[in-house]
C-alpha cells in the first residue's frame, strides 16, 4: 500500500492516490476523488502487465471527466425519469441533469465528491461519504462506505454499505471502463462477452426502461453463450439504435441476494479474462457508444469510440417508477449492502 | 388467551388449541398440529360474527385433511419438478408425492408435525419445528419458528423465522382457505378480489411454472381493478383449464423485501373485507378447484367446490429450476424471515 498526493480539486481539497500491489506484482490504484477505481494492472498470457482501465492519469484529466470513468456513482446510478420518485404517496423531484428532462447518475453527486478514506490494511481502503437529506432532491440522510480490496488472486472486491436514516432509493455502483487489451489497445468489439441473463429491459428514447422484461432469445442481446461484443452490435435492432449500441440493463439469473458469477469477458488477443460477480439483480452493459475521442485520457491517448466497456452492477434502472421491478427502496432498518467482484486471469 | 386439549395424533401426541380473543370479541384459534390457523371469527357490517376459515373443528377432521386447510406448509410450499433441486452442482431428489411425478408442499412434512409451542403473551403464540437435514430429500438442518399474533385491529400477523445450518431452499407459507361470508356460506365466486400484480407465471399441465412471466393484461388474471372472482373464471383460457380455475402464482408489485399491501378481498353480502400484506415477491391465488364435497368440515358441512380461496404468500414456485425467478435459496448467514398480515374489517 502506498499513498501519495494526486492533486487538488478546484476548491483546494487534497486528492490522494492509493496503490495496492499484490504478491504477483499486479496492482490497482484508487482515488478518494469520486471513490475512483483508477487503474488495474494485470498480466496477459505471457506475463506482461497492462492497465485494463480506460480513464485518466492526471488530476486535470479527472476534473475534465464527463463519463464517470472508474467512479463510484450514487445515490442512484443510471436514469430516473423526469417525474422523480414517489414514496408513501409523496413525490420527490430529482435534479434533471440531462437536457432538463431526466436524471442521470444522481447528477454525479458522489463522483465529484472528495471522500474520506481509511486504509484498512495492505490490501484494502475504505472510502466514506455523507449525502445529506435533500441532496439532488432525494429524501433522507445517507452515510456511504465503499471498500476496495485487491487480493493475491487478482480479485478487485468492492463492498458497498450505505445506511440511510429514512426511506430513500439507493443504487450505488462502480462505473469502470474496461479494456482487457490495455487502455491504449483500441476498441473492445473483439472481446468475447458472456452474460448470464435470459431477459433484458428494453428502453425508450431517453434510455429509460419501458417496464418490459424481454427475452434475449433471437436478439442481439443474447450473450448466454460467449460471443464477440461486435458480432451483432450493428444489427438493425430498434434497441441497439436507441442505445447507439449496447447500453442496457440485463436481468441476471440466480438472484438470491448472495454473490454469484454474472459475466465472463475474454480478450483473445492478450488472453486476459475477467470474471464478474454481484449479489444484485441486474447489470448495465455499456460499450462506450458516446466516447468520441474528444477527451484525452491516460498516456495522452484520446478516449475513442468504444475503447472500453462497463458492467455496472445494479437494481434495474428507474425501478421506483416500474413497480414490477425489484424495488431499490431502503430505510434505517434496511441498508443497501452489496458486493461486486472483478477477478482477472489469463489463458 | 385460552389453551385447551384439542385431541391426540395417531401416535398419541397431544394437540392443543390456543384461542386469542381481542377487545372487540373477535377471535382466532391456533393448533400446534401443523402450526394451524384454524379459526378467524370476525364481525360483518352489522357486527355479527362468523368464522371465515374453511376447515375442520375436530381432531378427527384434522387427521382427515388432505388439502392443507390452515396449515403451515414447508419446507418448500407449492411444487418442485421431478428433477428435484440442484445446489452448487449437486442434485437433490425431493420426495415426489404426486403420482411419483413431482413434489407438492414438501410432502406435507410441516403440516403433519406436532410443533412445539410458546405462549408469548395474551395475543401471540410461537410454534417451532426442527426439520432435519435430509428430510424429504432437502439438504441442511432447518429450525423453524412461526409466530401468530391477533391484534385489537383484527389483524392476523404471521411471522416466519426459518434458520438453516447450510444451503437449502425455503418457501414456508400458510394455507388458509377463506370465505368472508363464513365457512358455511357457499362458494366464494361473488367475492370481489384485487391483486396488485401486472404479471403472473403460467404453468404446465402439472401446475408447475413454465418459467414465463406473462402480463395479466387482457387475460382473466387481471385483478388489478377489483372484480368478482367468478367473473372470468369460466373463460376458455388455457391457463384456467390447466388449473381447473385460478391456482396461479401472481408476481406482486413493489417488491423491496419490506411489507406492503398485495391484495384486498371484499364480500358484498356480509360487508367483510380482508386486506393482505406480505414482504415476499409472489402469492398463490387458489380457489378450491379441487374441493368436491367429499370431505366433511366444520359444523359437519361438506367442503364443497370453491367454498374457500387461498392467498399463499411465496417466492415463485419451483424457482430453483427457473433461474430467472428470484431464488429462494437460504443458508446459515441468510435465514428466511418473512411476515404476512391478513387484516379484517367490514363496511
Per residue in B11-29, pLDDT (tens digit) is 999 999 999 999 999 999 9
CA angle, A337 then A169 then B162, to 5°: 45
ipTM > 0.90, yes or no: no
Strands A124-131 and B177-178: unpaired
- Beta-carbon contacts below 8 Å between A and B: 46
DSSP assignment string, A203-232: B-TTS-B-S--EE-TTSTT--SS-EETTSS
Q: Which residue of A has its CA nearest to B321?
A: A254
Whether residue B198 and residue A324 make contact (CB cut-off 8 A), yes or no, is yes
B-chain residues near A254 (CB < 8 A): 323, 327
Terminal Cα-to-Cα distance of chain B (whole angstroms): 28
Exposure of B52 by Cβ count < 10 A (0-12 exposed, 13-18 middle, 19+ buried)? Answer: buried
Q: Enumerate residues 114 to 143 of chain B having a beta carbon within 8 A of any beta carbon in chain A.
A: none
Mutate to test the interface with B, among A195, A256, A258, A333 (most CBs of B within 10 A): A256
CATH classification of the domain holding B132 = 2.70.98.10
Q: Which residue of A has its CA nearest to B330?
A: A256
Q: Taking the CA atoms of chain A, what radius of gyration do you get in angstroms?
A: 19
Q: Output the pLDDT for position A228.
A: 98
Q: Output the pLDDT for position B298.
A: 97
Question: Which of these, A146, A113, A140, A141, lies nearest to A128 by C-alpha position?
Answer: A146
Whether residue A256 and residue B213 make contact (CB cut-off 8 A), yes or no, is no
Q: Output the pLDDT for position A285.
A: 98
B-chain residues near A328 (CB < 8 A): 256
Q: Output the pLDDT for position B97.
A: 96
Q: Output the pLDDT for position B68.
A: 97
- A324 closest CB neighbour out of B251, B256, B324: B251
**B58 close to B41: Cβ distance less than 8 angstroms:** no
Q: Which residue has the cell 388467551?
A: B1
Mutate to test the interface with A, among B323, B330, B337, B338 (most CBs of A within 10 A): B323
Mean pLDDT computed over B148-171: 98
Q: Output the pLDDT for position A192.
A: 98
Q: Output the pLDDT for position B53.
A: 98
Q: If pLDDT is split at 50, 70 and 90, which confidence band does A148 have?
A: very high
pLDDT digits (tens, 9 = 90+) for B30-74: 999 999 999 999 999 999 999 999 999 999 999 999 999 999 999
Q: If pLDDT is split at 50, 70 and 90, which confidence band does A64 have?
A: very high
Domain with A245, as residue range(s), is: 2-346
Residues in chain B: 347
Mean pLDDT computed over B158-176: 98
B256 CB within 8 Å of a chain A CB: yes
CA–CA distance from A222 to each of A7, A171, A214, A246, B82 (Å)?
43, 25, 11, 12, 29
Question: Which of these, A252, A257, A263, lies nearest to B167 by C-alpha position?
Answer: A257
Mutate to test the interface with B, among A196, A210, A212, A254 (most CBs of B within 10 A): A254
At B318 the three-state DSSP class reads coil
Mutate to test the interface with B, among A198, A323, A325, A328 (most CBs of B within 10 A): A323
**A53 close to A29: Cβ distance less than 8 angstroms:** no
At B55 the three-state DSSP class reads coil
pLDDT digits (tens, 9 = 90+) for A43-58: 999 999 999 999 999 9
Count of domains for chain B: 1
Cα–Cα distance for residue pair B41/B21, rounded to 1 Å: 9
Q: If pLDDT is split at 50, 70 and 90, which confidence band does A202 have?
A: very high
Q: Enumerate residues 185 to 224 of chain A having a beta carbon within 8 A of any beta carbon in chain B.
A: 196, 198-199, 213
B-chain residues near A327 (CB < 8 A): 254-256
Whether residue A331 and residue B258 make contact (CB cut-off 8 A), yes or no, is yes
Q: If pLDDT is split at 50, 70 and 90, which confidence band does A120 have?
A: very high
Cα–Cα distance for residue pair A158/A125, rounded to 1 Å: 10
Catalytic residues of A: 175, 312
At B75 the three-state DSSP class reads coil
Mean pLDDT computed over B340-346: 98
DSSP assignment string, A20-82: EE-TTS-EEEEETBTTEEEEEEEE-TTS-EEE-EES-SSHHHHHH--S-TT-EE-SB-SEE-T
- B256 closest CB neighbour out of A198, A253, A329: A329
Q: Output the pLDDT for position A100.
A: 94
B49 CB within 8 Å of a chain A CB: no
Cα–Cα distance for residue pair A174/A185, rounded to 1 Å: 22
- B323 closest CB neighbour out of A254, A257, A329: A254
Q: If pLDDT is split at 50, 70 and 90, which confidence band does B319 have?
A: very high
Q: Which residues are registered as beta bridge partners of B201?
A: B249
Catalytic residue of the set B105, B108, B175, B248: B175
- B324 closest CB neighbour out of A253, A256, A258: A253
- B334 closest CB neighbour out of A196, A198, A257: A257
How distant is the Cα of B224 from the closest Cα of chain A, in angstroms? 13
At B86 the three-state DSSP class reads strand
B103: Cβ contacts below 8 Å, ≥ 6 apart: B76, B79, B80, B82, B84, B94, B95, B96, B97, B136
Whether residue B258 and residue A324 make contact (CB cut-off 8 A), yes or no, is no
CA–CA distance from B320 to each of B80, B209, B324 (Å)?
9, 11, 9
Amino acid at each position: 500500500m502506498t499513498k501519495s498526493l494526486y492533486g487538488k480539486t478546484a476548491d483546494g481539497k487534497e486528492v490522494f492516490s492509493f496503490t495496492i500491489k499484490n504478491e504477483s506484482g499486479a496492482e490497482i490504484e484508487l482515488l478518494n476523488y469520486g471513490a475512483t477505481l483508477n487503474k488495474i494492472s494485470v498480466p496477459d498470457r505471457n506475463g506482461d502487465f497492462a492497465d485494463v482501465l480506460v480513464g485518466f492519469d492526471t488530476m486535470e484529466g479527472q476534473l475534465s471527466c464527463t463519463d464517470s470513468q472508474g467512479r463510484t456513482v450514487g445515490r442512484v446510478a443510471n436514469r430516473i425519469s423526469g417525474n422523480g420518485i414517489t414514496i408513501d404517496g409523496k413525490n420527490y423531484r430529482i435534479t434533471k441533469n440531462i437536457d432538463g428532462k431526466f436524471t442521470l447518475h444522481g447528477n454525479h453527486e458522489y463522483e465529484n465528491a472528495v471522500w474520506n478514506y481509511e486504509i484498512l490494511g495492505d490490501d484494502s481502503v475504505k472510502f466514506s461519504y455523507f449525502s445529506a437529506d435533500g441532496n439532488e432532491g432525494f429524501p433522507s440522510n445517507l452515510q456511504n462506505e465503499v471498500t476496495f480490496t485487491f487480493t493475491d488472486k487478482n480479485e478487485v472486491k468492492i463492498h458497498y454499505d450505505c445506511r440511510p436514516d429514512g426511506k430513500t432509493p439507493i443504487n450505488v455502483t462502480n462505473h469502470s471502463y474496461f479494456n482487457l487489451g490495455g487502455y491504449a489497445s483500441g476498441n473492445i468489439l473483439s472481446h468475447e462477452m458472456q452474460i448470464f441473463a435470459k431477459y433484458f429491459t428494453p428502453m425508450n428514447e431517453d434510455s429509460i426502461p419501458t417496464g418490459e422484461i424481454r427475452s434475449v432469445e433471437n436478439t442481439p442481446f443474447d450473450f448466454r453463450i460467449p460471443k464477440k461484443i461486435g458480432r451483432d452490435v450493428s444489427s438493425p435492432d430498434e434497441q441497439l439504435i436507441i442505445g447507439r449500441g449496447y447500453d442496457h440493463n440485463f436481468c441476471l439469473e440466480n438472484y438470491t441476494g448472495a454473490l454469484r458469477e454474472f459475466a465472463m469477458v475474454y480478450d483473445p488477443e492478450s488472453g486476459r479474462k475477467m470474471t464478474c460477480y454481484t449479489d444484485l439483480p441486474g447489470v448495465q452493459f455499456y460499450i462506450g457508444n458516446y466516447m468520441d475521442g474528444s477527451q484525452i485520457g491516460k498516456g495522452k491517448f484520446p478516449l475513442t469510440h468504444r475503447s472500453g466497456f462497463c458492467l455496472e452492477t445494479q437494481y434495474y434502472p428507474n425501478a421506483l417508477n416500474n413497480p414490477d421491478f425489484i424495488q431499490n427502496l431502503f430505510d434505517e432498518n434496511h441498508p443497501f449492502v452489496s458486493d461486486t467482484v472483478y477477478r482477472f486471469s489469463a489463458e
